[in-house]
Every structure is written in structure tokens, then in C-alpha cells.
Structure 1
Amino acid sequence: MQVDWHTFGLSLVPLVGLAQFYVKRYFRRFNEEVDLTVQTVLITNAETQLGRALGLEFAKRNARVILACRSMIEGGLARLDIVANSGRSDRNVLARILDMRSLDGVRDFADLVLTHEERQVQLDILVNIPAHIGFPSPQPANDTTKFYNENYLGPFLLTTLLLDLLKKSGAQPCIVHVGSFLRKTDSVDLDYLKSGEEISFDKIMQTKPMLGQSRVRLHSNVRTMRAMFTSELARRVSELGITVCCTNPGKDPDEGTQILLHCALSRTLQSDSVHIFSGWQKDNVHDLAKNSTLCEKFWKYSETLIREFPNDASDSQV
């Protein structure tokens, strides 16, 4: 029987493409050799699966890792797991309590880091993992304060409080903001920024109607706010050698960990611009985040919000 090799070859094309997809999807790894000896990494919401996996990878690269967790019970378990699997001594993996839902709690945590880390000389990498990636169950109305605190205002406050410490890094300091995919339709009410009129916090947090679902609007807000914050942060530190990234790591914690390692450690990323990633691919900057004037004004407004917005008490386990 004569084989039609041309037809046979064409039949293999889909299989080859599928194989390449799975290799790229499941086997791509951050493979740059980076030794983090004497460097300190801080990860927020480190009790999550993504936070634990990332902490382990940093520890394997000889970093000193601070796990900022909502409760000491979860933080202690994460710490024990990382110490057991990384070969690092327990004094190089620390667990600290940080509940972003309480802005006073964020201030207390930052004071603790600044007091202790000043003696340790530096903080080199800050990874802000949000409490929610994707869409959680709808939040009760009285939990809106907590939602904004833990997904935007808390990370904003923590980053600004620790910025001077990051500037002292003797390595290549980096700030990574983790979040879900930013959509072109995401927005917040920024009309007041253009007109200069005073406006209440309630109005700025209202988006244009999106499917009539409050949880969708909440996430639209924080995604846009995070993008604008990241863009303005990158502009402010561009001459200080600090790399700033914002990334959607996807749903797979293993792959997400590799993507975050790329953002935090890759020497191919320059500190003179903001780096937006969706998975492994660089993504376009959101239109609002491109407007430097709006981003600067929103930064200043965020500074006002962290002073005036209600400080919701957390219910953390100590």
C-alpha cells in the first residue's frame, strides 16, 4: 500500500500544534539563574496556594522570605512547609500577620517591617498578591469597605510606606502587583479629575453599569485602580532602578508562580517603564493608565482616601 506522505504530514499538523501548546502551557519555566543570597522578599497574602508556591521558589534561590499572612495560624503552616521543602533555615523564612482589610493593621505591619528591616539593611522585592483573583461570591454591602481595603487601598498604602526601604536595595529592586485580567471596559468614575470638582468617595467607586452585578463593578473598579496605581508608581520610581510589574498569572498556581518569578527576577525587564503581563505575554496598558495626568491625580486622591476612608476592623486569628 502506497502511503500519501503529504496527506500524512498534514494530518500531523494539528497534533504538533496541540503538543506545542501543552509544552508551552505546562512545562514553561523561569530558567534564568538568579541567586538571591542576602536579599529579602516580602509576599502579601502568602498563605494562599500561589503565595506559598512563590515563597518556596524564592527560598530555594536563597532569599530571606517574609510571609505576610491574614492569620498567624495559616502563616505558620506556610512557613513550616517552605522551610521543610527549601532547605533554608527557619530564621530565613518569617511569618508575620497582615490583614489588608484594616488600614491601621497595614500601618502597624509596615512599622514592624521598617523597624526590623532597617537593621537588616534592605527590602528588595515586594509582591502584592490580592485577596481575590477572579470573581468571589457577591459581597454583602457592609463588606465593601473591606473589599476596597484589601484589594486596592491596603496594597497602595503598604507599597508607599515601604518605598523608601526598597530604594535602599543594593540589588535590582522590584514591585509586582498581581491581579486578574484587565478588560478594556473596566473603568472608574474619573470625571471629577478632569473637571477638578470635589467629589465624594461613593461616587468615584461607581462604574458605568456592567451586567447589573455589584461584584462585577467592584472588580472593575479595583482592576482599573490597580492599573493606574502601577503606571504612576512606575513613573515615580523610573530613575531609581526599581522595576514595576502588574500581571495576571492565570488560574494555575504552578504556572502563575513561574510567571511571577519572571516578573520579579528577569534581568530582561528594564526599570524605565511599567510592565503589564497577561500570562507570559506582555499586554497593552489600559487607556486610563496611559494618561499620566489622571494617574498622578488619582495617586494623590488615593493618599486622601487612606487618610479618610473608614478603617474597617479585621477579624483575623492571631
Structure 2
Amino acid sequence: MWLQAVLWPLLRLYMCGIKVLIYQMFNRSFTLPVLPKQNGRVAIVTGGTRGMGFETARHLASIGMHVIIAGNEKEEGAVAVEKINEGGKGKAEFIYLDLTSLKSTRQFVHTFKSKALPLHVLVNNAGTMMVPEKTTEDGFEFHFCLNYLGHFLLTNLLLDLLKRSGRQGGCSRIINMSSATHYAGVVHLDDLNRRKLYSSHGAYAQSKVALVLFTYYLQEQLTTGGFNVTVTAVDPGMVDTALYDNLWALARALKKPVAKILFRSPAEGASISVYAAAASEMEGVGGCYLYNGEKKQSSDLSYDSDLQAVLWKKSCQLVGLQAT
């Protein structure tokens, strides 16, 4: 039981990491094409105060978007906004959001909607990785809530605005930050909080495959409804950010020299989110998994339409939304 629940997820996760590092050893990071100006468009970037989130927010602001940085560190948010707005190079503002709290997520949406702005881009970037077992104030497993369920609620609460803001030739775009670790992910529908035998590796992988399942199901609903909104899952590769601070001591020690040579920089990792959010080539393109600038096949599990539907229904129940 322990072998299956704890050791096996760990081995699968590290095998995914090794495959990504081998790829990055022999392949250059994706280079962004020239992007069209985005004047008049509004974006929200979760986790936008540092790392890939900040680089995404900075780049989107530099091409004309009004960027709302959503994060749970007010001081970091103020610094990020100051850097982006310095010298009139961009337009950014910060709104507090704690994705591990359903109440905070609803309050963020209320605050944003009170500004009477449109919404053209939502980048669900915030995340955590391999934290010790703990639950949120609402009783959810931490990875599941921060990486997936909080973003599920946020997206659904903003969906009406994204639908109204999208138009033919100018779709609204939702970008979900997944990871190669989703290939190791298994969704435990009877134990989404993973309380039976906790594995931080398994919990992290589950949250990332849940995001891909969510991406495909939501895109299908939007397409069927005829709405001008696209949903894309993106994989930034292995990027040198604070996400790896929770690795085991030995893994952290081994990671340092490898990261200098093989890991992507935060700006390189952010390029795929920026591409999905603003590139002309991605206009009207959704329901796909992007890695290093190309559409890739995601895990077999992620295409299970029955699992997509059941996860959607369960997620709605967990956050208090009516399933559609």
C-alpha cells in the first residue's frame, strides 16, 4: 500500500523531471515571435509578484495590456507594480488574492468587477510544489486547492466577463499553468484531498493533471456554446524558481548545479504563457497543451471525457457552484 501510494508517485515524478532535463539539454528555449500590440486589453495574472508570474505580467504590460497582478503578498505586489510601471513602460496594479481561501477568491472577483473593466486574458499561473501535508482553511489539500481548485473557482466566477469581452477575431483567452508532472498524475475521485496515504509528489501531480482535464472540458463547453473564449494548458518546462524550495535536502543540493546549466530562466519559462495569451498564431486556438511553443499530446488520462465531466461536477460541489 505504501509503495503504491507514496514511493511510486515519487519515482514517476522524478522520471518526468529527468525526461524534461534531457529535452532541455538538447533543445533551445522557445523564442517568442513579435507580438501584436494589446492596447485596450485587460489581463489578470495570478502569482504575478515574482518568478514566471512576474515575467508574464511584465511582458504583457510591455505590449500594452492593462495587467492586474493577483497575489497574496502585498509588499511583493507593490514592488512588482512599481517595476512594471517604471518610466511609463506598462500599466499594472495589484489586487490581493489568496487562492487557498474560497472567501478570498470571491472577494477578489468582487473587487475586480467593481472596476467595471473588461477581461480578455486570465493567466492561472500561481502554484506550489511538494509542500508538507497541510489543509486550507476550507479543509482542502493544499496543492489541490492552490494549484487547481482555487483557479477553478476563479475562472468560473470570471467566465461571464470573459465571454462578454471576447469577440470574433479577438477571443478572450484562459491559460492554465500545468507541468510535465501531469503525466504522472492520477485523479483520486474518492479521495481528492489524499487523506488515506499522503504523498506530496502524488498530490502535486494530481493538481497538474486536474488543470489539463479542466482545460479540455471547459473548452468543449465554450465551443458548444459558441463563445469567443479559448482555454489552453501550458507547460513551461523546468524553470529555476522558488517552486523547488520544498524538495528534499538531497534533491535541493543536486538541483543547484543542474539548474545553472539546464533549467530555464523565469523569463524563458514565462514565454509560453505570454505566447498563449497574446500571439496572433493562437487566436481562436484552444483545448490544447503547449510545450516549448508547440502543441503536444498530453497524458492519456487527460483526454478521458468521463473523468473530465465527473471532476467538473465534483469541483463545482466543493466550491459551491451549480454544475452545468
Please state which band the TM-score falls in when normalised by the shorter chain: 0.7 to 0.9
Aligned length in residues: 264
For residues 6-56 of structure 1, give each alpha carbon's deviation from its aligned partner in whole angstroms, at most 9, with x where no partner exists. Answer: xxxxxxxxxxxxxxx999625x42123311111101100111221111111
| Contact 1:188 1:206 (8 Å CA) reproduced | no
Q: 2:300, 2:124 → 1: CA distance?
A: 23
For residues 272-318 of structure 1, give each alpha carbon's deviation from its aligned partner in whole angstroms, at most 9, with x where no partner exists. Answer: 6411022323221322321223212211110001139xxxxxxxxxx
For residues 147-174 of structure 1, give each alpha carbon's deviation from its aligned partner in whole angstroms, at most 9, with x where no partner exists. Answer: 3221111000000000010011143210
| Contact 1:60 1:86 (8 Å CA) reproduced | no
| Contact 1:100 1:155 (8 Å CA) reproduced | yes
Q: 2:291, 2:33 → 1: CA distance?
A: 19
| Corresponding position of 1:94 | 93
Q: How far apart are 1:63 and its partner, in Å? A: 0.9
Q: Aligned pair in 2 of structure 1 residues 54, 86: CA closer, same or farther (>3 Å)?
A: farther
| Corresponding position of 2:217 | 232
The 5-angstrom pairing of residues 183-194 of structure 1 reads 183-190=182-189
Alignment equivalent of 1:275, drawn from 288, 302, 305: 288
| Contact 2:133 2:198 (8 Å CA) reproduced | no
| Corresponding position of 1:166 | 162
| Contact 1:59 1:86 (8 Å CA) reproduced | no
Q: Aligned pair in 2 of structure 1 residues 86, 286: CA closer, same or farther (>3 Å)?
A: farther
Q: How far apart are 1:225 and its partner, in Å? A: 1.2
TM-score (norm 1): 0.75
Alignment pair present for 1:177 and 2:176: yes
Q: 2:40, 2:286 → 1: CA distance?
A: 26
Alignment equivalent of 2:76, drawn from 74, 77, 95: 74
| Corresponding position of 1:154 | 150
| Corresponding position of 2:255 | none
Alignment pair present for 1:241 and 2:244: no
Q: Aligned pair in 2 of structure 1 residues 87, 140: CA closer, same or farther (>3 Å)?
A: same
Structure 1 spans left out of the alignment, 5+ residues: 1-20, 191-198, 309-318
Q: Aligned pair in 2 of structure 1 residues 270, 285: CA closer, same or farther (>3 Å)?
A: farther
SS of residue paired to 2:48: coil
Indicate the percent of aligned positions where both proteins have the same amino acid: 24
| Contact 1:130 1:151 (8 Å CA) reproduced | yes
Q: How far apart are 1:86 and its partner, in Å? A: 5.8
| Contact 2:47 2:53 (8 Å CA) reproduced | yes
Q: Aligned pair in 2 of structure 1 residues 24, 254: CA closer, same or farther (>3 Å)?
A: farther
| Contact 2:47 2:71 (8 Å CA) reproduced | yes
Q: How far apart are 1:59 and its partner, in Å? A: 1.1
Q: 1:82, 1:277 → 2: CA distance?
A: 26
Alignment equivalent of 2:315, drawn from 298, 302, 305: 302
Structure 2 spans left out of the alignment, 5+ residues: 1-23, 240-264
TM-score (norm 2): 0.74
Q: 1:115, 1:127 → 2: CA distance?
A: 20
Q: How far apart are 1:213 and its partner, in Å? A: 6.9
SS of residue paired to 2:180: coil
Question: Which range is displaced more, 106-115 or 179-188?
Answer: 179-188
| Contact 1:176 1:264 (8 Å CA) reproduced | yes
| Contact 2:144 2:193 (8 Å CA) reproduced | no
Q: Aligned pair in 2 of structure 1 residues 296, 85: CA closer, same or farther (>3 Å)?
A: farther
| Corresponding position of 1:194 | none
Q: How far apart are 1:96 and its partner, in Å? A: 0.7
